[in-house]
Amino acid sequence: IFFACGIIPQRLIDSDARRLYHGRMSVPAISVQNLVKNYGAFRAVDGISFDVREGDFVAFLGPNGAGKTTLFNAMCGLVKPDSGKFEFEGKERAWPRTDELIDLGISRTLQGVGLFPELTVLENVMIGASKSASSGLISSALGLSGRDEERLKQRSMTALERVYASGIADMRADSLPYPVTKRVAIARALVSEPKILLLDEPAGGLGSSDIEWMNSLIHNLASQCSIILVEHHMDVVMSVCDRLYVLNFGQVIASGGVETVRRDEAVVAAYLGVNN
Ligand code: ATP
């Protein structure tokens, strides 16, 4: 299905490009310390700390219920942490609200694709530029003049090109196969030209060939922005990310490079044993 708009994207960006991009900033882009989130008496996230530097491709991996989505939602304003420190580009600040993300250069996709079915692909992507997504008339919803709307259309087309979907810009979202909607959701996140892209289970619900396609796509995007990925399939993240945090019961049980984590006894026992 993914092939409707092209072949599997080559991993075009070589490691030199990744290295050049990596780490221009001397402080972490995002630093989270001791994040705690309780749902009533249940502690879903139990003191998680991590850093994401400019250019990093970091993945959070863990079995169902490990706390990944709660952690993800805390970073994008959908969950209010009970405690924990959030630093952005070296400065401590309040946890971001959803309407602050674009100004911070953060963009996200969620587990549910959430496209507006009656709108075209292009219109759906344009909505990604809005601080509070709305399916009203695009220009009035975004408060744009005719010229600004034209610019946004161009930016949206560029975002669609980045996910190899410019050829379907005029199709209605409800006519698309599911794997293609996932790509459109990523384009919608890219339209604000984020410095940090948060992806919640981008391969969720995809078959193996579409997962391969998605992995190549994300790998290429990682040369252009920092990526924080949440995923419960180990094979999805192992082939793309630089650094992994493995969660279980709301805590980090292992972290480091892919090979280190793959061999970690706690990971093998708590994760591989359960899911593979
Ligand atoms: P999955 O891969 O299944 O999405 P996850 O690792 O993302 O799992 P979370 O969705 O963060 O895990 O959930 C962590 C724990 O918190 C789970 O036990 C879940 O049932 C619980 N939980 C999540 N959201 C809520 C909520 N709103 N109210 C109560 N408990 C919740």
CA-only gyration radius of the chain, Å = 18
- Give the residue whose CA is nearest to atom 9 of ligand 1: 67
Residue 254 CA to residue 263 CA, distance in Å, equals 10
Is the CB–ligand 1 distance for residue 62 below 6 Å?
A: yes
Per-residue model confidence (pLDDT) at position 121: 96
Q: Which residues, listed in sequence order, are joined to residue 252 by a DSSP beta bridge?
A: 247
Q: Which residues, listed in sequence order, are joined to residue 61 by a DSSP beta bridge?
A: 231, 246
Q: Taking 50 as the threshold, does the pLDDT of residue 275 lie above it? A: no
236 compared with 76, residue with greater pLDDT = 76
Q: Length of the chain in residues, anyone?
A: 276
CB 37 within 8 Å of CB 45: yes
132 compared with 240, residue with greater pLDDT = 240
15 compared with 51, residue with greater pLDDT = 51
Which of the listed residues 70, 78, 230 should we mutate to test ligand 1's pocket, taking the one with most ligand atoms within 8 A of CB? 70
**For the residues of the chain, what is the DSSP string, one character each?**
-GGGG-SPPP--S-HHHHHHHTT-SSS-SEEEEEEEEEETTEEEEEEEEEEE-TT-EEEEE-STTSSHHHHHHHHTTSS--SEEEEEETTEEEPPPPGGGHHHHTEEEE-SS----TTSBHHHHHHHTTSSS---S-HHHHHT--HHHHHHHHHHHHHHHHHTT-GGGTTSBGGGS-HHHHHHHHHHHHHTT--SEEEEE-TTTT--HHHHHHHHHHHHHHTTTSEEEEEES-HHHHHTT-SEEEEEETTEEEEEESHHHHHH-HHHIIIIIHHH-
CB 173 within 8 Å of CB 125: no
- What token pair was written down for 153? 């259309």
Residue 5 CA to residue 215 CA, distance in Å, equals 16
Which residue type sits at 18?
R
Per-residue model confidence (pLDDT) at position 143: 62
CA dihedral over 182, 221, 69, 255, signed as positive or negative: positive
Per-residue model confidence (pLDDT) at position 198: 95
- Give the residue whose CA is nearest to atom 21 of ligand 1: 44
Is the CB–ligand 1 distance for residue 69 below 6 Å?
A: yes
Q: What is the pTM of this model?
A: 0.85
- What token pair was written down for 251? 């805590």
Residue 190 CA to residue 109 CA, distance in Å, equals 10
Is the CB–ligand 1 distance for residue 202 below 6 Å?
A: no
Question: What percent of the chain has a predicted confidence (pLDDT) above 70?
Answer: 83
Per-residue model confidence (pLDDT) at position 140: 57
What's the chain's average pLDDT? 84
Q: For residue range 97-124, list pLDDT tens digits in order.
A: 999 999 999 999 977 778 999 999 999 9
Which residue, among 216, 162, 219, 215, has the nearest Cα to 189 in the 3D structure? 162
Is the CB–ligand 1 distance for residue 68 below 6 Å?
A: yes
Q: What are phi and psi of 249, to 5 degrees?
A: 50, 40
Q: How far is the CA of 229 from the centre of ligand 1 (A)?
A: 16
Which residue, among 231, 221, 227, has the nearest Cα to 242 in the 3D structure? 227
